[in-house]
């Protein structure tokens, strides 16, 4: 399972990923009516970022969101990378303690419909 060597390496991929999401009409269409903000804390790199899906508008950025995200995920960079590439099952990662989840459960479930698109764009950003 690949992770990232440095915070800067990961920041490059995440920035590109967010840009791709913001420009993608499919995600915008699918998140119509959705209101989920996700905060990520990557513990091994001391790195935070957030992705926001608010009624058809996608946004995000590096650092913590203001106001704070509704859902927070904490994990190492390799676990995040594995979850996004499909190598790591999110439920199993949560049960094993590799990933911790805080926040609004129903909001997080609202993102399930976007997962395929998120993965596709993450893989593109990672290439």
> By CB under 8 A, how many residues form the interface with other proteins?
14
52 sits near other proteins (criterion: CB under 8 A): no
DSSP annotation of 43: T
Shortest separation between residue 94's beta carbon and other proteins, angstroms = 6
Asked if 24 touches other proteins (CB under 8 A), the answer is no
Name the minimum Å distance from CB 122 to other proteins: 22
Least distance in angstroms from the C-beta of 113 to other proteins: 14
Between the alpha carbon of residue 41 and those of residues 16, 23, 61, 64, the distances in Å are 18, 24, 13, 9
Q: Is 105 in the site for other proteins (CB under 8 A)?
A: yes
* CA–CA distance, 46 with 80 (Å, rounded to integer): 13
Strand order in the sheet with 47-54: 57-62, 47-54, 35-42, 71-75
**Total residue length of the chain:** 127
The window from 19-27, 51-59, 101-109, 119-127 that contacts other proteins (CB under 8 A) reads 101-109
Q: Is 47 in the site for other proteins (CB under 8 A)?
A: no
């Amino acid at each position: 399972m690949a992770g990232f060597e440095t915070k800067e390496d990961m920041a490059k991929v995440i920035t590109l990923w967010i840009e791709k999401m913001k420009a993608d009409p499919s995600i915008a269409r699918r998140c119509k009516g959705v209101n989920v903000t996700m905060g990520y804390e990557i513990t091994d790199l001391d790195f935070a970022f957030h992705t926001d899906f608010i009624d058809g508008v996608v946004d995000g950025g590096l650092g913590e969101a203001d106001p704070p995200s509704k859902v927070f995920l904490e994990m190492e960079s390799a676990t995040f990378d594995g979850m996004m590439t499909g190598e790591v099952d999110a439920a199993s990662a949560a049960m094993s303690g590799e990933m911790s989840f805080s926040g609004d459960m129903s909001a997080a479930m609202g993102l399930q419909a976007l997962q395929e698109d998120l993965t596709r764009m993450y893989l593109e950003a990672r290439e």
